[in-house]
Structure 1
Amino acid sequence: MFDKIQLGYQYNELEPYIDAATVETHYGKHLQTYVNNLSALLEGHDEIAKNKTLEDILSDINSIPESIRQGVINQGGGVANHNFYFSILSPNPKKAPEGKLLEAINNKFGSFEGMKDKINNVSIAHFGSGWGWLVIDENGELEIITTTNQNSPLSINKEPLLTIDVWEHAYYLKYKNLRAEYVKNIWNVIDWSKIESIYEGYVK
């Protein structure tokens, strides 16, 4: 019903910043488990997904029956968050934004480096499992937030632009307990051309 995205790169192509074993395990095992669990959860609830994307569902989470709502938040968020994360990574990324997005970043955070520092700080400091995000808020402004577990920004009326997965399975095989090193290195494979495209589609 809802599946994982097709990667635009091979498992080893994000090295040395993210190792092949981590990408293979993260994408092929962890993400697949969320896909399988979500499919099982939605059996007998075909009306929920009819003519809707997973993003539509997470954006209107209170319409989901209470009996499965938390499961959809957990499993659906697991699919959507991971699909988004893998979609903005590239072995040949554009390393910095330009145009309207850069202008918005400078206006909000002072500079591109200032924004990176803020995302790094909240991602490194986030307690337990979760995500660091650059989002567009309900007023069309850029905002840096974290979410816990698999909670999606979509469920609090925020549009994802960039995310850093800070669940241990995203980095532990290579970085062990050094979350900060992983967070700082991931910028080498974040593709700003993809993020610009999302932003420009939202603000046009």
Structure 2
Amino acid sequence: MASAEAALDRLCDPVAQVSAHWLIAEDGRLFRLVPEDRRAWHAGAGAWGAVTDVNSHSLGVELANDGAAPFPAPQMAALESLLRGTMARWRIPPAGIIGHSDCAPCRKADPGPRFDWARLARNGLALPTPQGCADGDDAAFVAAMRRAGYTATGDLPHLLAALRLRHRPWAKGPRDARDTGIALGLAARLPVDPARSPA
């Protein structure tokens, strides 16, 4: 959307059939749109781990952004504050913080390549990118991604795009040993409790 106001109008329009628990404007203003104990319609069709109805098992946080611009410092600070609160209230571990591109990689690319996942990870608010490279064929990569929670698709191009959007946003070309190393590192982490996984 072009602005937070445009996003707010859409999220509050019953005709649009989309909603979220929270919206954060570029300047850090926070809008509570749906109580956290109620279902919002932000994730659409997607899956994470064993959960196939992400809307019913998640808290939706939307960030006002046109899809190409960086995320401003006030907006990121407001997001960090919100995450600390929601993670404490609902006992969500860092592994439970995911993006739309994680749970619906065939349909969604947000929050996109300019979102600072590393900043969240440094502050304990998301999983860090695993280190290292690993050998393995395409089937091993897909299997590792599915064990890591990426169960919405088994399609290699979409899984590779989802991994890179979050962990290697400027990487190009075919899957390589770095991608496989990240996927295996994610799969080796403690399993996510899907019932507490915000998207």
Q: What's the TM-score, normalizing by structure 2? A: 0.29
Normalized per residue, the structure richer in strand is 1
TM score, norm. by length of structure 1 = 0.29
- Is the helix fraction higher in 1 or 2? 1
